[in-house]
Amino acid sequence: MSSSLPPLPDTVAARTAYEICSRFSTPNLVGHSVRSYLWAAAYAAERGLVFDAELLHTAAMVHDLGISATFEAVTTPFEVVGAEIGFVLGRGLGWPADRSERVVEICVRHMRDDVAADVDVESHLLQVGTSADVSGVGAQDFPAPFRAALFAAYPRTGFPAEFVAAFEREAARKPECAAARLLASEWPQRMANNPLPG
């Protein structure tokens, strides 16, 4: 696996998704969104997985917008909110409905049961990227120089505490949501034991 960071897609959709993420998310959540894509892209490159970089990047940029102060919803789970923002973004950029719907699938599935790469490669990769960044799952399989470059470019400092607090707010409002189920599992301990800087 290369120690250098994969390139970020340079398309109108990718730049717009990053702009929206940056406008409505905190710096910690922007960093998490970018790192999630980079973990995923590096993982795919190592395993020869072919994926749609623009689509995955767009989903990564919007997947947590539902826990932003602007878009926190009373009853709709945060991953669904982010997914629907991604749908609106895609349609606004002229994407066909089925491509925009793929952003919805990827964002929603990343908080559901594991998706195999041969079933939905972009959803699989977003699960890999977010799991590595949030809980450190599989992070030890990436070379130390890659991790050093990743955290130098997009520091993780302050992210874990902010993310757990956001999930606690989400769970308090929506006790049946995926975030609430995670908080009731071993996930908080995995967060606490995560060896990544933060």
Map residue 105 onto helix, strand or coil: helix
Tens digit of pLDDT for each residue in 96-147? 999 999 999 999 999 998 999 999 999 999 999 999 999 999 999 999 999 9
With 0-12 / 13-18 / 19 or more C-beta atoms within 10 angstroms meaning exposed / middle / buried, residue 184 is exposed
Predicted confidence (pLDDT) per residue in 17-30, tens digit: 999 999 999 999 99
Integer Cα distance of 56 and 17 in angstroms:
11
* Beta-carbon contacts of residue 41 (< 8 Å; ≥ 6 apart): 6, 51, 53, 56, 125, 129
Spatial distance between the Cα atoms of 133 and 194, rounded to a whole number of angstroms:
9
Architecture (CATH level 2) of domain 12-193: Orthogonal Bundle (1.10)
Q: Which of 110, 107, 61 is nearest to 81 (CA)?
A: 107
Show the tokens assigned to 71: 């878009």
**In the predicted model, is pLDDT for residue 94 greater than 60?**
yes
Read off the pLDDT of each residue in 29-49 and give the average, rounded to a whole number: 97
Q: Is the pLDDT of residue 39 over 60?
A: yes
Q: CB-based contacts of 73: which residues, under 8 Å, 6+ apart?
A: 66, 81
CA distance 36 to 163: 14
pLDDT confidence of residue 149: 95
Q: pTM higher than 0.85, yes or no?
A: yes
